[in-house]
Amino acid sequence: MICSLLFAVSIVWAQEDALVYFNAKPNVTMALENPLTILTQEAIDRKNLRETTIDFRDVPVDESYISQIKNVEGITVLAKSKWFNAVHVQGTEAVINSLLNETFVDHIEFFDRNLNKSSSVAKDEKFSIESRRPNFEYGNATNQTEMINVDDLHSLGYTGEGVIIASLDTGFGRVNTMSGFQRIRDAGKILGTYDFYTRSSDVYIDDACCYHGTVTLSTMAGYFEGEYVGTAPDASYYLFRTDNYDLNETFTDTPIEETLWVEAAERADSLGVDIISSSLGFLKWSEARYNYSPSDLDGETSFITRGANMAYEKGMLVVNSAGNQGSEGLIVPADAENILTIGAVNSAGEYMNWSSQGNYLYQDFQKPDIVAQGWQSAVIHESDEVRVAHGTSYSSPIIAGAIACLWQADPTMTNAEIMQIVKQSASQYNSPDNLLGYGIPNFGLALSTLSTKKEDVNNFKIFPNPVYDNLQIAFPKNIEEANIELYSVLGERIFKKSITRNSRTIDLKTLLPGAYILNIQTFEQGLKTIKLLKK
């Protein structure tokens, strides 16, 4: 029995995890000329709105290459990445290296970095107000909501409507039955689910392994009338399981979880997701040879970090927990430069010493970025009760939900613009450190900054466009009032009214979806015509 066990263990140890990168994608030109064959219309619309290029990275990995890799004896293909044109494989070191003989293989990167011929990762050279005012009673969530002033946005009707969040986590047990999520279920706000481990749509596994995602999701989407409101109660959600870790740490972390995270991010992009909320990350593994050292947390070493930066390039905004490792440092992908890395404070806004710290020796950019309440965060437990929880796992989605509300106010803003506005609103923007980053954000102030940025000294501007409920009209300098008329594309006048600089929000929630023409008439400038899309 002992000998058999030792033999079995030795076989497991002989297996390596690696990324096999391909050197081409056939039919790229045809795919890019017909983007609906590789992306949803929602994804294309979002990219056009924010001027994000559809390119080589959006084209799927060639299936014939994957089939040939699968046919190699001793190789198991576990996942694939279209952004990096690669597959994640398992096998012995020798068998994996033999794949270099395939004409379509560019290079191989082992997760055990000691096995790589070079310590540097090969780079892909191809790309170098009349408004609806919800009467929310936040209950136990009041402190974490008011700390970042997202309640200011809610009061103006910005509750995440029209913004899509992909939640990447360990699973979402009981979300399909809990009363704390009934509001988003009834409204059809869960747009889709996928378990990248089992390759199935069932993420509602009722087991200890799969409640972490349930609890983190509650900080954004949970709702009990008079008792609890998440930060984005009207956003839409995709629920993706990419991690096999549970709250009791009975399962082990393996490198496949990095690749599955990237695969989920790619799917999110293809579905038109705006924000990735991730309360996941890695620093120490079950096998020490995969561990990350402080010098590895440089924003470019780990595969998952490179994937997070790629998500930014594709126009999404990644919000990721900093980790609970204190002075040991950040988890990956929290070291990615182009994401929002979220640390934790207590209810009084004081740093929690277990919240992962940045390190200026290895990150030549600010980390963490901002913080929110992560000690005694109010959550909806899998028991369907409001309880408290501790960790950056909860401070991070609190921020992700708030960003959804801010982005709703102007969907034309880019991810870079939204991130900068949020950072500038934070409590110590002028004196950041590696504990709190730029500090506690003020989303009320961020909304004011966003509105100010839309002001133009010469022209009227409208936002959001497309509009869901409330249309804001930004006045040019020295103009105080205007007459507006809304017409259908067939020329039928819908309404006519006068507005002023101090009363410039138009309630359009009863307007039918479709395209319209908005005329703005002033004495100073005459007639201005703007095309408006109602969703």
CA distances to 172, 244, 347 from 207, rounded to whole Å, are 10, 12, 30
Q: Which is more confidently placed, 99 or 470?
A: 99
- Position 443 scores a pLDDT of 96
Q: Could you tell me if 436 and 459 lie in one domain?
A: no
Q: What is the dihedral angle through the alpha carbons of 74, 79, 82, 87, rounded to the nearest 10 degrees? A: -20
Q: Which is more confidently placed, 9 or 50?
A: 50
Q: How far apart are CA 174 and CA 181, in angstroms?
A: 9
**252 — pLDDT class (breaks 50, 70, 90):** low
Q: What is the mean pLDDT of residues 419-431?
A: 95
**529 — pLDDT class (breaks 50, 70, 90):** confident
Q: What is the mean pLDDT of residues 115-131?
A: 43
* Residue 130 within any structural domain of the chain: no
Tokens of 89: 């494989």
Q: Could you tell me if 202 and 294 lie in one domain?
A: yes
- Position 110 scores a pLDDT of 95
- Position 304 scores a pLDDT of 97
- Pick from 448, 350, 356, 348: nearest CA to 396: 356
Q: Could you tell me if 227 and 300 lie in one domain?
A: yes
pTM of the model: 0.78
495 CB-contact burial (10 Å; exposed 0-12 / middle 13-18 / buried 19+): exposed
Q: Using the predicted structure, report yes or no on whether residue 462 has a pLDDT greater than 90.
A: no
Q: Using the predicted structure, report yes or no on whether residue 1 has a pLDDT greater than 50.
A: no
Q: Strand, coil or helix: what is 27?
A: coil
In this structure, of 43-57, 117-131, 171-185, 469-483, the range with the lowest mean pLDDT score is: 117-131
How many Cα atoms are found within 13 Å in the side-chain-facing hemisphere of 172? Answer: 30
Distance of CA 349 to the CA centre of its chain: 24
Q: Could you tell me if 338 and 476 lie in one domain?
A: no
Q: What is the mean pLDDT of residues 40-59?
A: 88
Could you read off the pLDDT of 188-215 as tens digits, one per residue?
999 999 999 999 999 998 887 789 999 9
* Residue 407 within any structural domain of the chain: yes
Q: Using the predicted structure, report yes or no on whether residue 7 has a pLDDT greater than 70.
A: no
Q: Could you tell me if 351 and 442 lie in one domain?
A: yes
Each residue of 228-264: b (16+ CB within 10 Å) or e? Answer: bbbbbbbbbbbbbbbbbbbeeeeeebbbbbbbbbbbb
Could you read off the pLDDT of 367-402 as tens digits, one per residue?
999 999 999 999 999 999 999 999 999 999 999 999
Start-to-end CA distance of the chain, whole Å, equals: 65
- Position 137 scores a pLDDT of 92
pLDDT cut 90: percent of the chain above it: 66
Could you read off the pLDDT of 259-269 as tens digits, one per residue?
999 999 999 99
Q: Using the predicted structure, report yes or no on whether residue 457 has a pLDDT greater than 80.
A: no
**282 — pLDDT class (breaks 50, 70, 90):** very high
Q: Which is more confidently placed, 452 or 500?
A: 500
Sort strands 190-195 and 236-241 into parallel, antiparallel or unpaired.
parallel
Whether the upstream peptide bond of residue 134 has omega within 30° of 0, thus cis, is: no
Looking up residue 416, the CATH number of its domain turns out to be 3.40.50.200
- Position 433 scores a pLDDT of 97
Q: 450, 475, 503: which is the final residue of a domain?
A: 450
Instruction: Give one word for 444, left, alpha or beta, with left for phi > 0 and alpha for psi -120 to 50.
Output: alpha
Q: Could you tell me if 296 and 375 lie in one domain?
A: yes
* Residue 386 within any structural domain of the chain: yes
Q: Using the predicted structure, report yes or no on whether residue 449 has a pLDDT greater than 90.
A: no
Q: Using the predicted structure, report yes or no on whether residue 324 has a pLDDT greater than 50.
A: yes
- Position 134 scores a pLDDT of 63
Q: Could you tell me if 436 and 355 lie in one domain?
A: yes
Count of structural domains within the chain: 3
Q: Using the predicted structure, report yes or no on whether residue 246 has a pLDDT greater than 50.
A: no
- Position 87 scores a pLDDT of 96
* Residue 311 within any structural domain of the chain: yes
In this structure, of 170-184, 349-363, 470-484, the range with the lowest mean pLDDT score is: 470-484
Which residue, chain included where needed, has tokens 């500090």? 439
Q: Which is more confidently placed, 247 or 229?
A: 229
Q: Using the predicted structure, report yes or no on whether residue 99 has a pLDDT greater than 60.
A: yes
Supply the Cα-derived Rg of the chain in whole angstroms. 24
In this structure, of 111-120, 272-281, 429-438, the range with the lowest mean pLDDT score is: 111-120
- Position 421 scores a pLDDT of 95
How high does pLDDT run on average in the chain?
88
Q: How far apart are CA 246 and CA 208, in angstroms?
A: 6
Looking up residue 500, the CATH number of its domain turns out to be 2.60.40.3080
Q: What is the mean pLDDT of residues 214-227?
A: 97
* Residue 77 within any structural domain of the chain: yes
Q: How far apart are CA 20 and CA 347, in angstroms?
A: 46
Q: Which is more confidently placed, 423 or 14?
A: 423
Q: How far apart are CA 46 and CA 263, in angstroms?
A: 20
What DSSP letter does each residue of 105-121 carry, written as one string? EEEEEESSGGGSSSSSP
Q: Could you tell me if 296 and 407 lie in one domain?
A: yes
**4 — pLDDT class (breaks 50, 70, 90):** very low
Q: What is the mean pLDDT of residues 403-429?
A: 93
Q: Could you tell me if 284 and 415 lie in one domain?
A: yes
Q: Could you tell me if 407 and 490 lie in one domain?
A: no
- Position 348 scores a pLDDT of 96
Q: Using the predicted structure, report yes or no on whether residue 162 has a pLDDT greater than 50.
A: yes
* Residue 135 within any structural domain of the chain: no
- Position 130 scores a pLDDT of 37
Q: Could you tell me if 379 and 259 lie in one domain?
A: yes
Q: Using the predicted structure, report yes or no on whether residue 35 has a pLDDT greater than 70.
A: yes
Q: 450, 476, 506: which is the final residue of a domain?
A: 450
Q: Using the predicted structure, report yes or no on whether residue 308 has a pLDDT greater than 90.
A: yes
Q: 430, 450, 470: which is the final residue of a domain?
A: 450
* Residue 42 within any structural domain of the chain: no
Q: Which is more confidently placed, 470 or 267?
A: 267
* Residue 37 within any structural domain of the chain: no
Could you read off the pLDDT of 81-90 as tens digits, one per residue?
999 999 999 9
Q: Which residue segment(s) compose the domain that 524 sits in?
A: 455-534
- Position 245 scores a pLDDT of 63
pLDDT cut 70: percent of the chain above it: 91
- Position 182 scores a pLDDT of 97
**CA dihedral over 105, 110, 113, 115, signed as positive or negative:** negative
Q: Which is more confidently placed, 438 or 453?
A: 438
Looking up residue 96, the CATH number of its domain turns out to be 3.30.70.80
Q: Could you tell me if 202 and 243 lie in one domain?
A: yes
